[in-house]
Amino acid sequence: MPKDFKLDYNKKDIHYYIILLSAPVLLTLYRYHAYPGTFKPFINFSLPGDQVIRINQFIIFFILTFIIPLLYIKLAMKEKLINFGLGVGDVKTGIKSFLLIPLVILPAIYFGAKMPELQTEYPLAKSLLQNQSNLLIYEMAYVVFYYIAWEFFFRGFILFGLKDRFGAVNAILIQTISSCLVHIDKPEGEIIGSIIAGIILGIIALRTKSIWYVVILHAAIGVLTDLFIIYG
């Protein structure tokens, strides 16, 4: 180790260090303890087995990436949740962002849903391809426990938590890198799309000072992908 090496540690930045470490720690726990085959469902529903497993997966993800960061913000950082994107923010700008749904998201998902690799991946619960009687329950759980948690963690906890220390651009890139890595083993097109979406949704979250608009945009991508594949 060079003699001039100095560990640039500042005790005042402890919360920034923890936010940065939360991504590899919590996402590793998710990968090895919440993917199908790594756990036994702890909540049973009157649904087909693969839907039960997936909904339990979403709930574990919610605990790891929503509940834990939220408790850290309130109990350790003693910050207001509105500072991490849980307020309504700039409603006018947020509503304008919804134009991405008909102009960009719908066409992209429509043609993407015809790709064999996406049809192999989605919907996550394959029983929905044969029977859609529980589709509404499944998609609601998908949105509430997965997409809200996802956006709060990446575009709320990480993005809003780091922007004052590292700047908006660096914070957007950090959360984009982290969210992209969760897509490992997904189809290549989806991974590339996650990089583009990470940057765009990060910008929208900062511009609106809220995660709720990007929750809707991101959930629209996921739900519409399922619907176009199921009914396509």
What does the block give as tokens for 110?
């429509």
Q: Tell me the C-alpha distance between 107 and 113, whole Å.
A: 10
Quick check: is 72 in a domain? yes
Location of structure tokens 């998908």: 142
What does the block give as tokens for 115?
């790709």
What does the block give as tokens for 76?
């350790």
Q: Tell me the C-alpha distance between 231 and 54, whole Å.
A: 20
Strands, DSSP E only, in the chain? none
Quick check: is 153 in a domain? yes
Dump pLDDT digits (tens) for 206-230.
999 999 999 999 999 999 999 999 9
Q: Tell me the C-alpha distance between 111 and 150, whole Å.
A: 25
Q: How many helices (H) and strands (E) does the chain have?
A: 13, 0
Dump pLDDT digits (tens) for 86-124.
999 999 999 999 999 999 999 999 999 999 999 999 999
Q: Tell me the C-alpha distance between 44 and 190, whole Å.
A: 31
**pLDDT of the residue at 184:** 87
Quick check: is 202 in a domain? yes
**pLDDT of the residue at 1:** 57
CA-closest candidate to residue 85, choices 70, 101, 98, 63: 70
User: Does residue 170 register a pLDDT over 70?
Assistant: yes
Q: Tell me the C-alpha distance between 162 and 180, whole Å.
A: 18
In three-state secondary structure terms, 215 is: helix
The stretch 150-159 carries a mean pLDDT of 98
Quick check: is 1 in a domain? no
Q: Tell me the C-alpha distance between 46 and 129, whole Å.
A: 18
Number of domains in the chain: 1
Structural element, H or E, at residue 163: helix 159-166
Quick check: is 6 in a domain? no
What does the block give as tokens for 9?
């540690």
The burial class, CB within 10 Å (0-12 / 13-18 / 19+), for 186 is middle
- pLDDT category at 232 given cuts 50, 70, 90 is confident
Q: Find the largest Cα–Cα distance for the chain.
A: 67
Q: Tell me the C-alpha distance between 7 and 69, whole Å.
A: 27
Which range marks the domain in which residue 101 is found?
11-231
Quick check: is 57 in a domain? yes
Q: What is the pTM of this model?
A: 0.95
Quick check: is 132 in a domain? yes
What does the block give as tokens for 96?
């304008």
**pLDDT of the residue at 2:** 64
Quick check: is 4 in a domain? no
